[in-house]
Chain A
Amino acid sequence: MNPEAKKTLRRLVIAVPLMFAFGFALVPLYNVFCEVTGINGKVFQSDNAEKLVIEDGRPLGLQFISTNNENMPWTFKPSEDVMTISTGKYYTATFYVKNTTNKTMTAQAVPSVAPSNAAAHLKKLECFCFEQQELKPGEDALLPVRLLVSDELPENIENIILSYTIFDVTEYDDEAVAQHMHEEHHEMEH
């Protein structure tokens, strides 16, 4: 085989693992893309939303919905279904959760915002969805989420829906998942 052909071959052989790695790189790329655009209503922790605080924001309806993913027997519901809020202000909402089973279980709540273009403007200072929740049999809790909706929210949006789906992650390797979640939040911080 002539040297030119070897060169071509070498390049192609290098390209293959690179493209394989690119497939994996799509995962963090997608997350960054989601954070910027709010695709799928992903909401990430933001520590520096202080500058978004304003006095005379506009009124806004905030509706909470809760869903139990399959096999999740816990009681899980918002303390209040609807809140009237104003943009540029911090609010705390709570969700009631109770382990109705007779064994200790671990849960992970996954947030989603609708409409999706509101997600980028919804800033969470703290959220129970940032970590797993472990409850003993019969134990219950009020889980807080502290949030602010930026005044940059598009004008036509008058109502935001914040949804949490609660998953049973008792069976999962807790540390691996926690690590994953932690890294993700770390990545997302500016």
Chain B
Amino acid sequence: MSLKYFHNLHLKIFSALFVFASPMHADWFALNMTRGVTDISNEVFELHMLIFWICVVIGVVVFSVMFYSMYAHTKKKNPVAASFHENHKLEIAWTIVPFLILIAMAVPASKTLVKIYDDEAGDVNIQVTGYQWKWQYNYLEDDISFFSNLSTDMDEINNLVPKGEHYLQEVDEMVVIPAGKKVRFLITANDVIHSWWMPAFAIKQDAIPGFVNTAWTKVDKPGVYRGKCTELCGKNHGFMPIVVKVVEQEEYNQWVDEKKQAAIKMAELTTKDWTAQELVERGESVYAVNCVACHQTNGQGIPGIFPALAGSDIVMNQKDKNIEILMEGVQGAAMNSFSYLSEVELAAVITYTRQSWGNAENGDGEIVVPKDIVDYKKPKI
């Protein structure tokens, strides 16, 4: 609704004024429910407006009588009160008339509800799992699975930098669904109760650990739609948004293929049982290309300039710190981030340094497998 207003030429000036007046680009016109983009959400919107106007009319009628009475029947104007205190006909009327109005509301509401409860299978079935505090999406037909995390910068939340347009409504990985197809969401949770709300589709279903709830939608209009978690689920309840991207079928197929490829690659990395030997072999060549110039073949580095890896406490005993240095680099030193290397390359080269030059014997001897790098790359909350 608000977007429509802003696109309206007549209101350009007003919007400009408001933007000027309020540095947050906030929205005085965000007053009503969204109409949404599905048949159901439109029906829900119409229903909402119908009930709203009925309520307004009831309110106006009742309050008019009351305000009239407050104006006309003051002690000054009407020193002696009337003496009536019952009127059976009137009382029966104002019991029956509201009842009829209620029936008029209940009929369309029930009809819409029956439609929402249509249980046919979807063309695409997506399992949605709520976690503290992120969502996991699992495409049942295509073996695609990923987490979707808030991607708003902590600095924006802490007011250190200006807030972006989609502040708190953006994620690192959107749910992608095809336009014009019936998509069914199977909603559950991993820990506490969450609730998956997508206003544009008029879907809100609680995600309950151990139970599966269903909801479905069919969106014709491609676009990006934003929703939120609506059941208090702990500290970061307000920080686990939902973003759904609706694309044409072709683009969807392409996306599915890409995700599948990535999934296969990821599976190789994370499920293969790597041995120290394999990693060391691979790591040696990675080391030769990327590290040897500074840290030297014997791992001794160059005293005073490049630190030694042989006998280094980090390399021997601090696996996590070791990974972090490779991924982030060292501030103020020559050590850059090597996060552009593949997970296998990174794991291999770290394992190589941890196993060579007597490090394994003098330290904890732990190896780093590609999964550790994958885990490191997962967003932390």
Contact = CB atoms under 8 A, between A and B. Distances in A.
B188 A158 contact: no
A157 B210 contact: no
Nearest to B208: A40
A156 interface: yes
5 contacts: A41-B212, A63-B125, A63-B140, A69-B190, A167-B210
B118 interface: yes
B21 interface: no
Interface in B168-220: 186, 188, 190-191, 208-214
Interface in A144-158: 154, 156-158
A50 interface: no
A163 interface: yes
Contacts of B209: 69, 165
Interface string A41-76: 100000000000000000001010101111000000
Contacts of A167: 210
B214 A115 contact: yes
A117 B119 CA distance: 9
B190 A112 contact: no
A163 B188 contact: yes
Nearest to B131: A70
10 tightest A-B CB contacts, nearest first: A159-B121, A115-B119, A110-B210, A163-B212, A112-B211, A112-B212, A70-B191, A114-B214, A114-B212, A165-B210
A169 B289 CA distance: 49
A81 interface: yes
Contacts of B121: 61, 158-159
Contacts of B125: 63, 161
Interface in A127-181: 154, 156-159, 161, 163, 165, 167
A161 B209 CA distance: 16
A138 B141 CA distance: 29
A114 B210 contact: no
B119 to A, nearest CB: 4
B190 A70 contact: yes
Contacts of B212: 41, 65, 112-114, 161, 163
Given A70-B191, A156-B119, A65 B140 contact: yes
A59 to B, nearest CB: 12
A112 B131 CA distance: 18
A163 B191 contact: no
A41 B211 contact: yes
B214 A69 contact: no
Contacts of A116: 213
A67 B188 contact: yes
A156 B129 contact: no
B176 to A, nearest CB: 20
A110 B212 CA distance: 11
Contacts of B131: 70
